[in-house]
Amino acid sequence: MDSHTLQRTNIFIFSYHSSVGKDHDLTGKELLFILILNVAVLLIGGGLILAGNNESLYSENELIFNLFSFLTELGNEKLYVIAATMLYLGYDKRFARRMFILFFATVLSTVFLKQLFHDPRPPANRLLGEQISGYGLPSGHTTTSLVFYGYPLLAHLEGNKGVKRILFIFCVFAVVAVPVSRIVIGVHDLQDVLGGYIVGITLIISFMWVHPKVASRISSFETWRKISFGALLTALLFLSGLAVLTILYPGEVLVSIEELGMGAGLLLGCAIAFPLEDRYVGYEPKSVPLPRRMILMVVGLLLSMMIYRAASSLSELFLPSYLEGAVVFCILILGVSLVSPWVLVRVNMLTILDRISEREM
């Protein structure tokens, strides 16, 4: 495929600034908009809470309940995993990596804060007749949906204006719909959602400010130093969080290890997989025409799911329950970010697709 045809193919998708810093430069208008939005949300949310409307959106109407139960699935963790895998294998691995790091740091932060505050869920807590376990503040669906759907809105994606407009509308809808749905179905109150919003937007802005600076510093590191840096940072976050929770709740050490371990496992997987993939694989989905890229994405997704299933089954047999999440999620990220790209490159999937195309012709 010549460069002109490839250029025509790529106008239907997004391109992404790959250089460190450009994609994370917030304009003055964006910062002003975020500031105004934050003030409005805090004033409205805080006012409603002070007025005694902390659970005012909860509805027992079955039609409304079922509708918002469906909308809350936009914040389902399985959907995030599938979408992130597709981004990595079929779109732009550098953008996907930043999404991974930010999202997993959000998971770790949210779990820590939930365990820290020990804030119970509202009395209305139910979902299809079943109680949701765990604590309420901050709402995990709110923080993760805000990060997953909100970050792309600020990352300066480029491409077809029509597609960008559709993406913008969908992401804004998801950022609003998921938090509201958690209140309507009764698993969170307004306080939980407002707390989740504050945590989510704080993490996005902090990440967009810190990540380019850190990335530029470690870009010249050798592979093993990058892995060591990431692993040590992950261990520091995990151990410091565990120390705080152990001091406050000494009888819940294993619970804290289990909860924090999931986020730490995801970040550790990133710390190991990203440098190794750069050094030994070099998978570049953006250099592949869109139709073939879609095939690579599906094959890679299936491989990743197989790795996840195998890791889950083996961990249940050989690991204590409080370590299962950390190990399984670490292996999942290794599968998505390292093993699947390695297999796709190793078996030379593009050559196989070329031969299939020639036979069809």
- For residue 239, pLDDT over 90 is answered with yes
Better-scored residue on pLDDT, 114 or 37: 114
**pLDDT tier for residue 236 given thresholds of 50, 70 and 90:** very high
What is the reported pLDDT for 230? 92
d(CA 278, CA 274): 6
Residue pLDDT, tens place only, 49-100: 777 777 767 777 778 888 888 888 888 888 888 888 888 888 788 888 998 9
What is the reported pLDDT for 244? 92
Name the pTM for this structure.
0.81
What is the reported pLDDT for 359? 53
| pLDDT > 70 fraction of the chain, expressed in percent and rounded | 82
CA 113 from chain centre, in angstroms, equals: 17
Respond yes or no on whether the N-terminal peptide bond of residue 123 is cis (omega within 30° of 0). Answer: no
d(CA 203, CA 193): 15
The DSSP annotation for 186-236 comes to TSS-HHHHHHHHHHHHHHHHHHHHHHHHHHHHHTTS-HHHHHHHHHHHHHH
From residue 152, give the alpha-carbon distance in Å to each of 64, 273, 278, 301: 29, 23, 23, 21
**Single-letter code of the amino acid located at 322:** Y
From residue 325, give the alpha-carbon distance in Å to each of 25, 131, 181: 35, 22, 27
From residue 259, give the alpha-carbon distance in Å to each of 32, 47, 110, 223, 331: 36, 32, 10, 29, 17
- For residue 113, pLDDT over 50 is answered with yes
CATH among 2.60.40, 1.20.144, 1.20.5, 1.10.10 for 24-220: 1.20.144
What is the reported pLDDT for 240? 93
**pLDDT tier for residue 247 given thresholds of 50, 70 and 90:** very high
Better-scored residue on pLDDT, 142 or 166: 142
d(CA 110, CA 138): 7
Residue 352, Cβ neighbours under 10 Å: how many? 11
What is the reported pLDDT for 16? 37
Give the pLDDT mean for 152-171: 74
- Hey, where are the domains in the chain? 24-220, 225-361
